[in-house]
Chains A and B, each alone.
Chain A
């Protein structure tokens, strides 16, 4: 039971994983075996929506890893998410084959439209799933490595780091909006047909993706928790709370930061890769700085440095977003903005911190 040992002292994590397990088993059953007329039936639309939330929760966990435990407020994690998504999107584009509008077996539609003659070199290999799967983690990882190597070694920190992470994702957004980049310009990649042979239109594929997202979230969570339980995790916290002291103690602070940052970016890439087939599109808008900042808010709402708080925050805010943008679209930005302000002012430890505080208060008064 080595895996369960990871969450031995993590009550929140235990509950979160338990609930996740129940949902992962229950939702597909309720979708497949309960008739549509039954109020307990879960429509496929909802399954996909939940799958999408779970990928975003994984993204939030990745952000919490660097923000909560290392104190790096990243305003550019959306970039790693989007890069993972693009890697998956490229694979899915190649899977369309000659079923595109132009029927070209080699080139995706937008390239035919732009009158390109052959596949650019960076698209080579994306017809193989294993290659795409590696790229999903490798591309965000390498970008995070280069960026982090430059930034952490020269001790860029605090708000400066936040601002340049934002500049990074903004620069990528501008670049990806260009048609010449070879990633579909502002339309991005879309019209996906199937994934490793399974049609994306099938209910079973959608359920499969939902289950995969749940598993990815659970595995990602366990990896992060395991890291933070280890000595490395304690060093992280030391770096967050007193960076120069940790440095004087002889720890290579920049290496600690770098590797955690890279792992986090890879997790974000996986989240992006699972997100894309479920929503059916990836476009440069995913790089927009506001998306990255929103992720930070999920974590802030849930509670920093808890990991499960990030999951709760991501689910809460995204559910609220879906609800508000459908019912009261004008109110959504007011609500989101209000949440930003209120959480920072009134709930500095997020929802989980607030609940824990209540409990403590009870125990003390009891």
Chain B
């Protein structure tokens, strides 16, 4: 933090002098906040110029709480007591709430008139931003330093150029040096030296910063030399191509995350519909039950929201799975071989479940909190960043898919499920208890629906109607992929998601969805058994 020791001590001398002068010249400000020195008195004065000087003073003394004070100022949370002449932090400026002074002593606000906010004007806001950026430039963390340079790009002044150049000499991080170079190059574009200009354009070539682009655009429109203009245009073109490329990557990423949602919603159905041949119209409601389970778990552990999701996944699997087994034992087992009847009966069940949720929880949507570790983003470059929640959804979808594949291919239950689904009579005669297998398979499919509900609770509101929103999507994915084929479900879900996101900017969200539905309707005409049809005798049915 002390790269400028010489200058700092020099300034410190000046500022001390200033404080002493103020002390004598303004006896009215008798009590001074000892922690901030003269700066506090200046901040409490009425004139913005004085306040601005107060900020400079904080920086010059390299006061340890500078950035904190700046943040409070820009959040409008810094007040002063009119009589005491002391600074206070007030988050809720309401009588009866607490005002905290900078040492942390609390005081109840008796009258609102006692306090006055330290107001800012636009010039001061600019100053605060600049100081914050310059402070960030000296931060210990290279990422913070990079962000600080990026902030400075917006408004490069001779002062910032000097600061940047000094920083460059001692900067160790390659990324930060690169960023400083870009900043300096943007500044150099204003010069009239052809060599400097050409170097600057070369430096900016391929830079994805918004400011680099606008600087180049501005340069192209004013450039004197045709040669330099040409060079800048080529650089711009390169940048635009790169931006477009990342735009495609982003669409792909959004598409894959939407597709993962579709796969999650559909994959439980791929088991109950695809493997067992049961049209379960209550599938959406099983998803809903999973989402509500997440909600209840969060209510049960309000102090550990961070971990609630991890608890909710197995819980939702068990709850939805048990409901599924109850549905199978109570209704579906009487209707095997009559798919249209199962459709009607399970639709009835879905209505009952919806109303049950409505009566239990209220018809209003419930919001489920997202843990901190799931929000945020990974910034790859200025035009491309990965939202963490979407990344988790994609990973989660793949994990669920692989787990399910392993269950069906590698476990005894999986073997029995496949046996029963291919030839019930034969399987029974080989000693497989088909009733038990049916119940467990249905439970498995329902449990997976519940897990999907946990994931969906992080994306949308949890409400009694959420199941209906996903049932048609789920069926589309399974039918498109080919019934009885988990891989088909994966491919279908992901490709539908990507296609939807590709269409969206062109057609709008609703129309994109309509087009997808029409596409699937037409697709089924061509390939009635989906992308990956089942072959052999089992397929006739």
Q: Using a CB–CB distance below 8 Å, which chain A residues touch chain B?
A: 73, 147, 150-151, 153-156, 158-160, 162-164, 166-168, 170-171, 174-175, 177-178, 289-290, 293, 296-297, 300, 330, 332-334, 336-341, 343-345, 348
Whether B475 lies near A166 (C-beta < 8 A) is yes
A284 CB to nearest chain B CB (Å) = 11
Contact between A341 and B510 (Cβ–Cβ < 8 Å)?
no
Bound together, the chains give a CA A154 to CA B525 distance in angstroms of: 5
> Which of B345, B355, B517 makes the CB contact (< 8 A) with A345?
B345
Nearest opposing residue in chain B for A173, CB measure? B514
CA distance A284 to B351 in the complex (A): 21
- Contact A333 B520, beta carbon cutoff 8 Å: no
Q: Are B352 and A345 in contact (CB-based, < 8 A)?
A: no
CB pair B511 A158 closer than 8 Å: no
Identify which of A164, A166, A174 contacts B524 (C-beta below 8 A): A164
Chain B residues with a Cβ closer than 8 Å to the other chain, count: 42
- Contact pick for B511, options A150, A153, A163, A175, CB 8 Å: A175
**Contact assessment for B514 and A156 in the assembled complex, using a CB-CB cutoff below 8 Å:** no
Residues of chain B within 8 A of A162, CB atoms compared: 279, 340, 343
B388 contacts the other chain (Cβ, under 8 Å)? no
Judge if B334 is at the interface, Cβ distance under 8 Å: yes
Interface residues as binary, B277-294 with A (CB distance below 8 Å gives 1, 0 otherwise): 001010000000000000
Known: A150-B525, A293-B281, A330-B358. 7 other contacts (CB 8 A): A159-B343, A167-B476, A167-B520, A171-B518, A297-B344, A337-B347, A344-B344
Known contacts A333-B351, A337-B355; decide if A296 and B345 are in contact (CB<8 Å): no
25 inter-chain pairs at a CB distance below 8 angstroms, sorted by A residue, are A151-B525, A154-B524, A158-B339, A159-B339, A159-B343, A160-B479, A162-B340, A168-B517, A171-B513, A174-B517, A175-B511, A290-B468, A296-B344, A300-B344, A330-B355, A333-B352, A333-B355, A336-B351, A337-B348, A337-B351, A337-B352, A344-B341, A344-B345, A345-B334, A345-B345
Verify B511–A178 contact, CB threshold 8 A. yes
B521's contact among A168, A330, A341, by CB below 8 Å, is which? A168
Q: How far is the CA of A170 from the CA of B359 in the complex (A)?
A: 27
B526 proximal to A (CB < 8 A): yes
A155, B528: Cβ atoms closer than 8 Å: yes
Whether B528 and A160, one on each chain, are in contact in the complex, defined by CB atoms closer than 8 angstroms, is: yes
Contact with A along B499-523 (1 / 0, CB 8 A): 0000000001011011001101110
Determine the distance from Cα of A117 to Cα of B216 in the docked complex, in whole angstroms: 42
Main SS class of interface, A: helix
| A168: B residues at CB distance < 8 A | 517, 521
- A167 contacts B339, C-beta separation under 8 Å: no
Min C-beta distance of B34 to chain A, whole Å: 63
Q: Are B472 and A337 in contact (CB under 8 A)?
A: no
B331 within 8 A of A: yes
B349 in contact (CB, < 8 A)? yes
**CA A147 to CA B524, docked complex, whole Å:** 12
Q: In this assembly, does B132 line the interface, its C-beta being within 8 Å of a C-beta of chain A?
A: no
Complex Cα gap A153–B524 (Å)? 12
List CB contacts (< 8 Å) of B346-375 with chain A: 347-352, 354-356, 358-359
Smallest distance from the beta carbon of A229 to chain B beta carbons, Å? 25
- The docked-state distance in angstroms from the alpha carbon of A73 to that of B476 is 17
A154-B525, A167-B520 known; A174 and B351 CB under 8 Å?
A: no
- A297 to B344 alpha-carbon distance, docked (Å): 7
A340 CA to B344 CA in the complex, in Å? Answer: 6
A289–B350 Cα gap in the complex (Å)? 13
CA distance A330 to B350 in the complex (A): 15
Q: Does B335 touch A at the CB level, under 8 Å? A: yes
B520 touches A174 (CB 8 A): no
8 closest A-B pairs by beta carbon, nearest first, are A340-B348, A337-B351, A333-B355, A337-B352, A171-B517, A337-B348, A341-B348, A344-B345
B349 contacts A341, CB within 8 Å? yes
Q: State in angstroms the CA–CA spacing of A153 and B354 once bound together.
A: 37
Contact B352 A167 (CB under 8 A): no
User: Which single residue of chain A is at the shortest CB-CB distance from B344?
Assistant: A344
List chain B residues, Cβ under 8 A from A73.
340, 343
Contacts of A166 in B (CB 8 A): 472, 475
B476 adjacent to A174 (CB under 8 Å):
no
Whether A341 touches B472, Cβ cut-off 8 Å, given contacts A154-B526, A159-B339, is no
Q: How far is the CA of A339 from the CA of B351 in the complex (A)?
A: 11
Smallest CB separation, A355 vs chain B (Å): 20
Complex Cα–Cα for A200 and B508 (A): 38
In whole angstroms, what is the CA distance A348 to B479 when docked?
Answer: 27
List CB contacts (< 8 Å) of B50-83 with chain A.
Answer: none
User: Complex formed: what's the CA distance from A336 to B352 in Å?
Assistant: 8
Q: How far is the CB of B437 from chain A (nearest CB, A)?
A: 22
Cα of A297 to Cα of B346 in the assembled complex, Å: 12
- Shortest CB distance A340–B (Å): 2
Contacts of A151 in B (CB 8 A): 524-525
Q: Which residue of the partner chain B has the closest CB to A158?
A: B339
Q: Judge whether B514 and A175 touch: CB under 8 Å.
A: yes
CB distance from B382 to the nearest CB of A (A): 34
User: Closest CB of chain B to A93's CB: distance in Å?
Assistant: 23
State in angstroms the CA–CA spacing of A187 and B349 once bound together: 30
The reply to whether B475 and A171 form a contact with Cβ atoms under 8 Å apart is no
Residue of B nearest to A297 (CB): B344
* Chain A positions within 8 Å of B342 at CB level: 344
Please name all residues of chain A whose beta carbon is closer than 8 Å to the beta carbon of B341 when the two chains form the complex.
Answer: 344, 348
User: How many angstroms from the CA of A159 to the CA of B277 in the assembled complex?
Assistant: 10
Nearest CB in chain B to that of A175: its residue: B514
Q: Quote the shortest CB–CB distance from B468 to chain A (angstroms).
A: 7
Are the C-beta atoms of B472 and A164 separated by less than 8 Å?
no
Cα–Cα distance between A132 and B183 once the two chains are bound (Å): 67
Check A164 against B521 for contact (C-beta < 8 Å): yes
> For residue A155, which residues in chain B have a CB less than 8 angstroms away from its CB?
528
Q: Are the C-beta atoms of B510 and A174 separated by less than 8 Å?
A: yes
A344 touches which one: B348, B514, B521, B525 (CB < 8 A)?
B348
**CA of A243 to CA of B350, assembled, Å:** 31
Q: Taking CB as reference atom, which chain B residue is nearest A165?
A: B521
Give bound CA distance, A155 to B510, whole Å: 29
* Residues of B contacting A341 in the complex (Cβ-Cβ under 8 angstroms): 331, 345, 348-349, 352
Residues in A whose Cβ lies below 8 Å from that of B511? 175, 178
Closest chain B CB from A224 CB (angstroms)? 21
Q: Are A167 and B340 within 8 A (Cβ)?
A: no
Of A154, A164, A300, A339, chain B has the most CB atoms within 10 Å of the CB of A164
Contact of A334 with B352 in the complex, beta carbons under 8 Å: yes
Q: Which residue of A177, A289, A344 contacts B472 across the interface (Cβ within 8 Å)?
A: A289
Q: Which residue of A lies closest to B348 (CB)?
A: A340
Contact residues in B for A340 (Cβ distance below 8 Å):
344-345, 347-349, 351
Smallest CB gap from B334: residue in A: A345
Contact A150 B522 (CB under 8 A): yes
B210 → chain A, closest Cβ, in Å? Answer: 32
Q: How far is the CB of A344 from chain B (nearest CB, A)?
A: 4
Complex: how many Å from CA A349 to CA B341? 11
Contact of B354 (CB < 8 Å), options: A150, A296, A333 = A333
Enumerate chain A residues within 8 angstroms of B468, measured Cβ to Cβ.
289-290
| A154 and chain B: residue at smallest CB distance | B525
Which residues of B lie under 8 Å from residue A158 when comparing CB positions?
339-340
Smallest CB–CB gap between B340 and chain A, Å? 5
CB of A156 within 8 A of CB of B525, answer: yes
Choose from A156, A290, A337 the contact partner of B528 (Cβ within 8 Å).
A156
Residues of B within 8 A of A160 (CB): 479, 524, 528
Inside 8 A of B335's CB, which chain A residues have their CB?
A: 344-345
In the bound assembly, the distance between CA atoms of A300 and B517 in angstroms comes to: 28
B residues near A344, Cβ cutoff 8 Å: 335, 341-342, 344-345, 348
Is there contact, CB below 8 Å, between A174 and B513? yes
A295 to B352, CA, bound (A): 18
B479 touches A163 (CB 8 A): yes
Q: A154 contacts which of B340, B343, B518, B528 (Cβ < 8 Å)?
A: B528
